[in-house]
Structure 1
């Protein structure tokens, strides 16, 4: 008999409207109205089933499209962000899964989320401070990384002072906060190639000054994340101009030489992939040439012993090329400005 009185499932549009009404109700914020919070949790779970399906059914394209359109039309993302800290971890996790799916939904060939962000970039200003609370940092970070998939959102964050905030978060003493911020930082600097190349070119000086602090951090995880990301950025063809600028700095090479001596093998290997760009630069500044020559014997000895259990042919070939470049360097006489070695007296 119970089955006869089972309530009719809500349509995607009705689901969105019920969530909107609950989130607009101030009682949701009151601990004494936990029934409202439970209702919100139930509705979010139903949305998740529409988007992902369950053991009984697969998701339907039309239902997903209607839900996505209504969700962004009713500005539910803004409401969920406002109430996220008041929900339990399980509910926050369900919301991040729902939002991840919604941001990937295409309707008539268009990402509805991208069109939404074009008119609502201020949403990102609400998400980033979520890192200030370790309890919510992971949830806000996951949502933010899904937002960054859309170029309009990434460009907005890059062009404002938010990147300075991300440098700060990566130095946070809380491991979860620092690690999650590093993951979002990486997404911002690798997802949209042309946008990132333009950003790095326009903000080179202050950006790499701050980046050097990450590379020289006393925290192993921070150093490891930073050197790995640096290699990914500099070796990307879209950042060629930035790479040439970076490897023309003696101070940058000094930092990389120190990282080659790091106690951690992973950091050493990642540092090598960046360091190799300095000797390979065909237009090396003279101060870099001089330092490489002065340290030639030490560098060649280090590189000859520099190996890994899982070293591959590409690594060995790169190492051989670097050693060759260093061996062939000729110091320049400061007096006669000749590249032929002399004693500085009879030149």
Structure 2
């Protein structure tokens, strides 16, 4: 009976946010605060972070309530809690970090009165992205910061800001990182950045084509198998997207690019070979192939046709076989240009 009388009243969403704000400072050691008290406060903070997650997702006892979610969303961004969580994230235990990434993911999707509060907040606080991206430098927190960043990129204003910043150069560096977790997660975020908001990405790639693909080809030629695999898979996704048609035509008009793809066709990994084929097939299919590409394809015609005739996979795939047949037909029908008379037909030399 006594326990029922003095049972703690659940905090409202607004109170929950305010309490979390007050408790976050206790995650840092403080000589003015007794350590046992600080640890008690940190435990309370962990509990309230988990309670915030329950408000948004529900649990086995209850479903999330729309009004509570809306109030929590408004108060969370009004009180600048995202900034504080980014700052104090390294001080929290792995369980609370995971809860935080789930909370932030949910809040990105919450609409209040028809508006994405998170998008409006991030547009006004783009400096938070400058804090999130360097989170990849710490292996212990890289995955948590990466998860938060990917959820923020769902908003076009965030993607546009990152694309137009120097952070793009940093993403290339992270994908070369020897730490598997960092390079893989950075590649995942990079993919989200370059595939979600199609019109923004198309404009960016057209404007920054030269330096971007110069850096990108270095990923394709990386000595690291995972880096090459991630890069060739994303390249196919970008070039085969209709919104990037102009970029695709430009890419497949480069002999240097084709040589890289031809090397990837010989990769020891079957997945990389297959993904490379899906990009390589665009070169012979290009109806306006530059003459240097035609000449290389003709010079290597026998080798290429022999390679593709043996190019098979364990699992039958009708579309792959059809695409391969088309590529072989395109290569077989190519006619070299006479270097002397500039004729596209076979030249017997009499008119040169």
The residue number in structure 2 matching 1:317 is 322
CA contact (8 A) 2:341 2:351 kept: no
1:177-208 Cα distance to aligned partner (Å, 9 max, x none)? 00000000000000100000000011100100
Deviation at 1:323, TM superposition (A): 0.5
The residue number in structure 1 matching 2:137 is 132
CA contact (8 A) 2:13 2:71 kept: yes
TM-score (norm 1): 0.98
**RMSD, aligned α-carbons:** 1.0
Say yes or no: does 1:119 pair with 2:124.
yes
1:131-154 Cα distance to aligned partner (Å, 9 max, x none)? 000000000000000000000011
Say yes or no: does 1:172 pair with 2:177.
yes
Deviation at 1:328, TM superposition (A): 0.6
Residues 230-245 of structure 1 aligned to structure 2 (within 5 Å) = 230-245=235-250
The residue number in structure 1 matching 2:280 is 275
Residues 83-94 of structure 1 aligned to structure 2 (within 5 Å) = 83-94=88-99
Say yes or no: does 1:163 pair with 2:163.
no
Distance 1:344 1:234 in 2: 40
1:227-251 Cα distance to aligned partner (Å, 9 max, x none)? 0000000000000000000000000
Q: Secondary structure at 1:9's aligned position in 2?
A: coil
Q: Secondary structure at 1:205's aligned position in 2?
A: helix
CA contact (8 A) 2:258 2:283 kept: yes
Q: Secondary structure at 2:108's aligned position in 1?
A: helix
Say yes or no: does 1:302 pair with 2:307.
yes
The residue number in structure 1 matching 2:75 is 70
Say yes or no: does 1:336 pair with 2:337.
no
Say yes or no: does 1:286 pair with 2:304.
no
1:30-73 Cα distance to aligned partner (Å, 9 max, x none)? 17322221111111011011001111110000100110011011
Deviation at 1:313, TM superposition (A): 1.3
Say yes or no: does 1:181 pair with 2:186.
yes
Deviation at 1:311, TM superposition (A): 3.3
Say yes or no: does 1:18 pair with 2:23.
no
1:95-122 Cα distance to aligned partner (Å, 9 max, x none)? 1011111111111222111111110111
Say yes or no: does 1:212 pair with 2:213.
no
The residue number in structure 2 matching 1:28 is 27
Distance 1:115 1:21 in 2: 24
Deviation at 1:346, TM superposition (A): 4.5
The residue number in structure 2 matching 1:228 is 233
Q: Give unpaired runs (5+ residues) of structure 2.
A: none
The residue number in structure 2 matching 1:95 is 100
CA contact (8 A) 2:20 2:48 kept: yes
Q: Secondary structure at 2:341's aligned position in 1?
A: coil
TM-score (norm 2): 0.96
Q: Secondary structure at 2:181's aligned position in 1?
A: helix
Distance 1:122 1:311 in 2: 50
The residue number in structure 1 matching 2:4 is 3
1:146 to 151, 161, 170: 151
Change (3 A) 1:21 1:344: farther
Deviation at 1:28, TM superposition (A): 2.7
2:51 to 43, 46, 52: 46
**Matched residues, number:** 345
Deviation at 1:343, TM superposition (A): 4.5
Q: Secondary structure at 1:299's aligned position in 2?
A: helix
Q: Give unpaired runs (5+ residues) of structure 1.
A: none
